[in-house]
A and B are shown apart, each in its own frame.
Chain A
C-alpha cells in the first residue's frame, strides 16, 4: 500500500512539475514572440535608454574624460532591464487583474509562480535586442575603451539579471494588492533606484562621489553591485579574484529575492483564493 501511495505521489509531483515547466515556457514564449515578432516594440524601447545615455556620454566628454563615456553607454544598456523589471514584471499581475486575465490564471491549473518565472525569462530575452542596440549605437558613436569580454562579465551579467528579476517577482506580488498607486510607485521608484544604483556613474567604490552611508544603503540594491562589477570588469579588466565579494553578494541577493518573491506571491494567492480580495475590482 505504502509503495503504491508513494508511486501515486511521485506521479502527482511529476505532473505538477510538467505543468509548471509548460506554463513557465509558454509565458516566456509570449513575451519573446511579442517582442521579436513586432520590431516596433524594439524601436520604442530603445529610445529612452539610448537618448539618455547619449546625453550623459556628451556630459562625460564635456567633463573632460572621454574614456568614461562607456559608463553612460553601459548604463543605457542595463537601464532597459531595470525598466522592464518595473513596467513588465512588477506591474504585470496588477495589469492582468485590471484586464481580467488574472481570473483566468487563478482558474487555470498553471501556478502563478511559473507564470512569473516565465515572464522573467521572456523579459530577459525580450529586452536583449533593446539593450544590445543601445550598446552598439553608443559604442559606434563614442568608441569607449571596453576591455575584451570575459566569462566574468557573463557571470556578473547573469547574476545581476537574476537578482533584478527576483526583485521584480517580489514587487509584482506586492503590487497585486495595490490599485492605481502601483503605477505612481513605479514612477517614483524608477529614477531614485537608477540614481542610487549608479546605472550611469559609480555610486559605490573608489570613484563614487556619494557619502559612505549612502553607499551602504545603495549596496543593498542588487543593481548597484551588478553595475559596479560590470564597470570594473569591462573598463578596468578586473576578474574573479577582485570581484568575488560582488558575485557572492549578487548570488545571495538573487536567491533571497526570488525565494521571498515566490513565497509572498504564494501567500497572497492563497489568501486571495480564501477571501476573494485578490480579484476585487480596482479603485
Chain B
C-alpha cells in the first residue's frame, strides 16, 4: 500500500512539475493565485474606500483566507482529473485491475497538495508585499516559527478533508463521460462563498451560515487566521473542529468512492469513455 502510494505521489509530481523547469511551474501557479488574492483585496478596498470606512486590518483577514482558498480550490480537482484523464488514456482501467485505485487517487492528491502548498505560501507572501507596494499598508501578520508550524498543521489537516471531497469527485468522474470539470467549478465557487475565504459567514443571510460551520475548510481557514493574525486562543478549537469534520468527510469520501467503484465495475463504467 505504502509503495503504491509513493509511486502515485512520484507519478503525480512528475505530472505537475515534469513538463518544464520545476521553478517555472511554481511561478506560473503563483502568479494567478496572487492575482486572485489581490482581486479580492482590491474589491474590498474600492468598496470600503468609497464608503469611507477602509480598515487595513481586514486586508490580513482577506489575504490569509483567499490564499488558503486558492490552495484548496486548486488541489481538490486532482482526484477527478486522475480518474477522467486516466479513463481517456486507458490508464485508469489498468490502475483499477491492479487494485491500486485508492492509492493512485491519494497519491495524486498528495502530489497536487505539495505543489499547491508552495503556491499558497508564495501567494500569501507576494500578496502581502503587493499590498504594501500598492496600498501602502503593512499587514500585521505574526510570522514566527510557532505560527508557521500551526499554519502548516492546518494545511495538513486540510489534506484529509480535501481527500474526502476529492474521493467524492473521483466517484462522480467514474460515471461522467463529458464536461466532468463542471462540478468542481461549482464546488470551488461554493467554497469561496461558504468557507469564510473572503468574508465572514455572518455576512450570509440566515440560515446559510450553518453550511459554513459544517465545512472543514471554514475551520481550517479560521485556524490559519488565528495562527497568523490572532488571537491564538481560538486555534485549538478551530483545528479540532477541522480535524473532526475532515475525518468525517474523509470517511464519507471513502465510502462513496468504494460504492461508486463497485457500481461502476458492474455497469461497465470503469473503462467507458466517449471519443
A residues at B contact (CB < 8 Å): 40-41, 43-44, 47-48, 50-52, 54-56, 58-65, 68, 71-72, 180-181, 184-185, 187-188, 190-192, 194-196, 200-203, 207-211, 214
In the complex with contacts A44-B182, A44-B185, A184-B19, A209-B135 CB distance below 8 A: yes
Can you list 18 contacts pairing A with B, beta carbon distance less than 8 Å? A44-B179, A47-B182, A51-B186, A59-B199, A62-B44, A62-B47, A63-B43, A63-B45, A63-B46, A64-B47, A64-B51, A68-B50, A71-B43, A188-B31, A191-B39, A192-B31, A202-B46, A210-B134
Q: Are A48 and B189 in contact (CB under 8 A)?
A: yes
Q: Are B203 and A47 in contact (CB under 8 A)?
A: no
B residues at A contact (CB < 8 Å): 19-20, 25, 28-29, 31-33, 35-36, 38-40, 42-53, 134-135, 179, 181-182, 185-186, 188-190, 192-193, 197-200, 203-204
Chain B residues within 8 Å of A71, by CB? 43, 46
Chain B residues within 8 Å of A41, by CB? 179
Give me 20 other A-B pairs in contact (C-beta within 8 A), A44-B181, A63-B53, A65-B51 excluded: A44-B185, A51-B189, A52-B192, A54-B193, A56-B39, A58-B199, A59-B40, A63-B43, A181-B19, A187-B28, A187-B29, A191-B31, A192-B31, A194-B39, A195-B42, A200-B42, A203-B42, A209-B45, A209-B46, A209-B135
B40, B46, B50, B181 — most chain A CB neighbours (10 Å): B46
CB distance from A39 to the nearest CB of B (A): 11
Query: Which of A40, A180, A201, A211 sits near B179, CB closer than 8 Å?
Result: A40
Question: Cα distance A194–B36 when bound, in Å?
Answer: 9
Closest to B192 in A: A55
Chain B residues within 8 Å of A50, by CB? 189
Chain A residues within 8 Å of B47, by CB? 59-60, 62-65, 68
Query: Which of B20, B35, B51, B186 sits near A194, CB closer than 8 Å?
Result: B35
Query: Which of B29, B36, B185, B193 sits near A58, CB closer than 8 Å?
Result: B193
Consensus secondary structure, chain A interface = helix
CB distance from B26 to the nearest CB of A (A): 11
Closest to B200 in A: A62
Closest to B198 in A: A59
Chain B residues within 8 Å of A52, by CB? 189, 192
Question: Cα distance A58–B205 when bound, in Å?
Answer: 10
10 closest A-B pairs by beta carbon, nearest first, are A51-B189, A63-B47, A64-B51, A44-B182, A191-B32, A191-B35, A195-B35, A63-B48, A65-B51, A192-B35
In the complex with contacts A188-B32, A195-B35, A65-B186 CB distance below 8 A: no
Query: Which of B134, B186, B193 sits near A214, CB closer than 8 Å?
Result: B134
Q: Are A63 and B51 in contact (CB under 8 A)?
A: yes
Query: Which of A43, A48, A207, A214 sits near B50, CB closer than 8 Å?
Result: A207
Chain A residues within 8 Å of B200, by CB? 62
Q: Are B48 and A64 in contact (CB under 8 A)?
A: yes
In the complex with contacts A187-B32, A188-B32, A200-B189 CB distance below 8 A: no
Question: Cα distance A202–B45 when bound, in Å?
Answer: 11
Q: Are A58 and B50 in contact (CB under 8 A)?
A: no
Closest to B44 in A: A63
B39, B52, B53, B200 — most chain A CB neighbours (10 Å): B39
Closest to B70 in A: A191
Chain B residues within 8 Å of A68, by CB? 46-47, 50
Q: Are A201 and B43 in contact (CB under 8 A)?
A: yes
Chain B residues within 8 Å of A60, by CB? 43, 47
CB distance from A72 to the nearest CB of B (A): 7
In the complex with contacts A47-B185, A54-B193, A207-B50, A61-B203 CB distance below 8 A: yes
Q: Are B192 and A51 in contact (CB under 8 A)?
A: yes
Closest to B182 in A: A44
Question: Cα distance A211–B182 when bound, in Å?
Answer: 37
Question: Cα distance A208–B199 when bound, in Å?
Answer: 21
Closest to A69 in B: B47
Q: Are A56 and B43 in contact (CB under 8 A)?
A: yes
